[in-house]
Amino acid sequence: MVQACSYSAFSHIERCHRVKILVIGSTGRTGKHVLTQGAERGHEITAYARRPELLTDRGRLAGVHQGDARDLDAVRSAIQGQDAVISAVGGSEIAGTLITAMRDTGVRRMVMTSSRSVVATRPRLAVTLAWLFLRAAYVDLARAEGMLQVSGLDWTIARATMLNDKPPAGRVHTDFEANATGGATQLSRADYAMALLDTVEDPALIGKALGICGPK
């Protein structure tokens, strides 16, 4: 039977099948898949967006909130009453606002997107080049990860490899290492969304940083 459950109350071995999820970055290329797939799984999905007019298929959503993810009052009001937050947009300013709003409202479960490049050391050339061009973004993502790790919330960090918009494979490779232990260097955003939803449903992943690659 499909049951509702709250992350602050449910057991650490029980999988969560029907939850109220606020999706930040909901009009983005990953976020839109989280909305669609989350609704298909039976979750009550609420979209948070700066430009909600970009949302398609609003009929399947439990709610829509307009606002910037750095606006504490707007975020707090959207988070109130949710079971979990999936942030399909990264960055320390957004992470800080979400953490404060979640503490204020007592919502504990958060899955935050990040990049494998924040921690990877291999393949050496690709990682060096990525850091050469995206250093500021990775430093900020590392700061966001650190903030979440000491937040006291029920967090999971979902570090993706290189994203693309190809059709989903329906499978991903996951690990808990800095460097990928397998899988492909490219990951479709639809599969990333699937992994984010799998993660938010799985209490065994609380307090973990997960690396996510495409399937081989």
Q: Which residues bind ligand NAP (CB under 6 A)?
A: 25, 27-31, 50-51, 68-70, 88-90, 94, 113, 115, 160, 162-163, 189
Gap between the Cα atoms of 171 and 152, Å rounded: 31
Where are the alpha helices (H) located in 18-67, listed in sequence order?
Answer: 31-40
| Residue 208, H or E segment | strand 208-213
Coil, helix or strand for 137? helix
Nearer of residues 4 and 64 to ligand NAP, judged by Cβ: 64
Least distance CB 160 / ligand NAP (angstroms) = 4
Beta strand 63-66 with 84-87 is unpaired
Q: In this chain, which residue has its C-beta nearest to ligand NAP?
A: 28
Least distance CB 178 / ligand NAP (angstroms) = 14
Least distance CB 8 / ligand NAP (angstroms) = 25
Nearer of residues 14 and 93 to ligand NAP, judged by Cβ: 93
Gap between the Cα atoms of 90 and 191, Å rounded: 18
Nearer of residues 5 and 71 to ligand NAP, judged by Cβ: 71
Q: For 36, phi and psi rounded to 5 degrees?
A: -65, -50
Nearer of residues 15 and 58 to ligand NAP, judged by Cβ: 58
